Amino acid sequence: MSLQLKTPKKYQSKGRRRHLFRSWRWLRNLILIGILVAGGYWIINNRELFRNAVGNVASQAGERVGEIQISRPTPTPTPNVTGALAEAVSAYSLGDFDRAIDNYRVVISGNPNDVDSHYRLAYLLVITSSLGADEAKMQEALEVSEKTINANPEDPHGWAVRAMVLNWLDRPGEAIAYANVALELNPDFVEAKAYLAEAYQRSALNNPRLVETSQSIAVATIDEAIEDLRRMGAASPETIAQVFRAKGWISEYQLDRDTAIEYYERALEAAPNLGYIALELALSYYANNQTEDGIALLKSALESNPRDTAILFRLGALYTNVGNGEEAQQSFQRCIEIDPDNYQCLSWLGGLRYASQSYAQAIPLLENAISNGSKDPIDWLQLGRSHFYLLRCDLAIPVLNEGYVMTADNPTTQDKFADTLKDCGAALPQIVPTMTPEVIPVEITPEATP
């Protein structure tokens, strides 16, 4: 583990190993913000013209939408899941999302045509995925979102939640297509507009030629969703939170951090039990040099979500970055007690033990982090070096060899593996180059219909 805050790609900052923003994106977006301000009014009033300019943003999205086998649900005998549904609703209202997820799984297994329960389960899996880091939850959410559509293809909720899942999987082209279907079914579905806006912002990174267009549409779309909320006069706290959260997320991505923090705070005020919004707000605080505010926020969030391992991990990471190792280790340890397979907490606690030269304690933590899904080469490096410092090169060399191969595209880190391998008297492993097939772009229309 690198003792810097590991943040999602959208939160990378200049001057750290784990950057909150990539430097080229920082410069580019600073220029683009001026362009967006100047052109904002024109964009809002000519939105369709902008839509027509992004034919490649949803590359292959039409085909992906068509891959879902849609059919009207056939009546099926269902067991009585009334008790599980009541438990799920109660748990959700109390903020006990893990219990809600367990019960919604029971509900949809017994009632495959229940759109609302499918939608709720997919949504909960996403927002409890540690900002998308839990690959198993994200894969399950993807599968459940497909079932949500099949439960009733004429209900926009399935298409909308599919767009949400695809956003968090960083597949914005497909997300745009699904969100557009949801909006064709219900043009007033503000959550779908929020997902569409987020998808356009994400697509800006995947389509450099269309970055200005995509970011402009993102701003226009989310502002339209906020205006829709005002016109509605009344909306559920969760709806308000999702729309304001999307505005905060888009603003953070465009480096308008004051606006990002404002809307994240408004989203959290609307729905204080949504821990994932607290996580994103804490990251904005961190990027804005307000780390202590981020720590206070996450400590408060833990009061209503005491078993939320994502919050515990981020809290430990923030403590690490302000040099409070004792509090950091306590947070990571609590996280592991709740979820012994949480590779993020295992990785960071192992890294702290490594940094304090407690190599024998670091080894099992780093081994478990790797076996449970870590892809951070620093875990391999610290594990290999821990064995080396304990005079066990026989155990260090296989680990270092793996790390050396996996860092072929990162010479700086690879050199660190090479140095330790040489210290063990081992030869460097041979790396066999891989051939990447040529991908021919396909021109399609981004608008999709069911």
Exposed/middle/buried for residue 336 (C-beta within 10 Å: 0-12, 13-18, 19+): buried
Asked whether the predicted pLDDT for residue 211 surpasses 90, the reply is no
- Predicted confidence at residue 40, as pLDDT, reads 42
CATH of the domain at 389: 1.25.40.10
Greatest distance between any 2 Cα atoms in the chain: 72
Give me the count of residues in the chain: 450
DSSP state, 209?
Answer: G
Q: Based on the domain organization, do 357 and 297 belong to the same domain? A: no
Q: What residues make up the domain containing 374?
A: 340-431
Residues 246 and 67: beta-carbon distance below 8 Å? no
Choice among 13-22, 101-110, 146-155 with the minimum mean pLDDT: 13-22
Cα 271 to the center of its chain, rounded Å: 19
Predicted pLDDT at 27: 34
Rounded CA separation 382/293 (Å)? 31
| pLDDT attached to residue 78 | 54
Crossing angle for the helix pair 343-355 and 309-321, to the nearest 10 degrees: 30
CA distance 376 to 403: 9
d(CA 155, CA 149): 7
Burial of 95 (0-12, 13-18, 19+ CB in 10 A): middle
353 with 247, same domain?
no
Q: 400 and 289 in one domain?
A: no
Could you tell me if residue 8 is inside a domain? no
- Measured CA to CA, the distance from residue 259 to residue 57 in angstroms comes to 26
The residue behind tokens 């870590």 is 374
Number of structural domains found in the chain: 2
Residue 325 lies in a domain: no
Residue 5 falls within a domain, yes or no? no
For residues 103 and 92, give the distance between their C-alpha atoms in angstroms, rounded to a whole number. Answer: 10
- Tokens 């067991």: give the residue: 79
Closest CA to 338 of 358, 312, 300: 312
Percent of the chain predicted with pLDDT > 90: 72
274 and 374 inside one domain: no
* Residue 351 confidence (pLDDT) above 70: yes
Average pLDDT over residues 311-324: 96
Tell me the average pLDDT of the chain.
84
Question: pLDDT tens digit string along 13-71?
Answer: 333 333 333 333 333 333 333 433 344 444 445 445 444 444 444 444 455 555 555 54
